[in-house]
Amino acid sequence: MKKILKNFKSSPHSSIKWDNYFEIYENCLNRFINKNITLVEIGIGNGGSLFMWRNFLGKKAKIIGIELNPEAKKFEKYGFKIFIGDQSDPAFWKDFYNKNGKIDILIDDGGHTNLQQITTLMESVENMNNGGVILIEDTHTSFMNYKGFKNPSKNSLINFTTNIIENLHRRNPMVKKRMNDLSKKIYSIEYFDSIVLFNINKKKLSYSKNLHNNKKLNPHFIDYRFKRPNAIKEYSQENFVTGFFKSKISKKGLINRVYENNIIKKYLKKIKK
């Protein structure tokens, strides 16, 4: 954290970042230092972060900035490549990747609206090199209801990523779903305060295999996970069984489901406090 924070503070131009970002940057980007890689940052503002990335990653790194304000072109005199365009426009991304090819690091510090973040992610996943990362910043806007963010909503970036989590689990054959482009490209997703990180690595991804080290050790193993022999007793202790369900007490499956639903409801209330 010390190195990149020092680069941030010593940048000759101004920039604004949340303080918890720097440890995340350092942990996930250290392996790119002094490598021939391409970093793209959306939303460069006054240009301060461009210098931070170059000083942190070293001279071998190509640093590209994307900005709506055409005045950002002035940073090209410092050796950066600058593109002016709208990150919410798929046509912009098609043209951008046609000109630049695949990249290694994508930092989305742009407008932070749902459409901007989701479009950037979906248009970029297929254009990342193996081992690359996508960092979407300021994802707290998924929970903000002002300045045009209109959240929380089902269309927020955070809610959108929960659908991608399902895609990752398609790599387990027990789910019995066909792997799609996301299943074959995104290795993992990490969530932090205000940042979502996507690790891209196509080479590591394939259907999971179930291994058993020695079947002879437990030849008569019985799976108890769904039996729940104490469920009815637990109901009684917690007063979860109403008169209606007491009349159905012989239907253990129904009793177990109601018990489970009530426990989960308790936890949901705790989350929403």
Q: What is the pLDDT of residues 218-252, one digit of tens each?
A: 666 666 666 655 544 544 444 444 444 444 445 55
180 occurs within a structural domain: yes
Mean of pLDDT values over 121-134? 96
210 occurs within a structural domain: no
Mean of pLDDT values over 99-103? 97
In which domain, by residue range, is 180 found? 2-204
Using CA atoms, how far residue 267 sits from 127, 156, 193, 256, 259, in Å, is: 40, 23, 21, 17, 13
Are 177 and 263 in the same domain?
A: no
N-to-C CA span, the chain: 33
Are 241 and 172 in the same domain?
A: no
- Residue 63: how many CA atoms within 13 Å on its side-chain side? 23
Q: Look at residue 106 in the predicted model and tell me its pLDDT.
A: 98
213 occurs within a structural domain: no
209 occurs within a structural domain: no
Q: Look at residue 84 in the predicted model and tell me its pLDDT.
A: 98
Are 249 and 142 in the same domain?
A: no
Instruction: Evaluate if residue 215 carries a pLDDT over 90.
Output: no
Name which residue leads in pLDDT, 259 or 68. 68
Are 200 and 233 in the same domain?
A: no
Of the listed ranges 22-26, 36-40, 85-89, 254-258, the one predicted with least confidence: 254-258
212 occurs within a structural domain: no
User: pLDDT tier at 253 (50, 70, 90 boundaries)?
Assistant: low
CATH of the domain at 142: 3.40.50.150
71 occurs within a structural domain: yes
User: pLDDT tier at 268 (50, 70, 90 boundaries)?
Assistant: confident
Mean of pLDDT values over 36-52? 96
Are 194 and 224 in the same domain?
A: no
Rounded CA-CA distance 110/224 in Å is: 50
193 occurs within a structural domain: yes
Q: What is the pTM of this model?
A: 0.82
Q: Look at residue 236 in the predicted model and tell me its pLDDT.
A: 47
Q: Look at residue 241 in the predicted model and tell me its pLDDT.
A: 45
Are 137 and 12 in the same domain?
A: yes
Q: What crossing angle do the helices spanning 21-29 and 48-57 adopt, rounded to 10°?
A: 40
Residue tagged 């996930």 (tokens): 28
Number of structural domains (the chain) is 2
Q: Look at residue 255 in the predicted model and tell me its pLDDT.
A: 63
Rounded CA-CA distance 24/64 in Å is: 20
Mean of pLDDT values over 250-256? 60
- Asked whether the beta carbons of 195 and 24 are under 8 A apart, the reply is yes
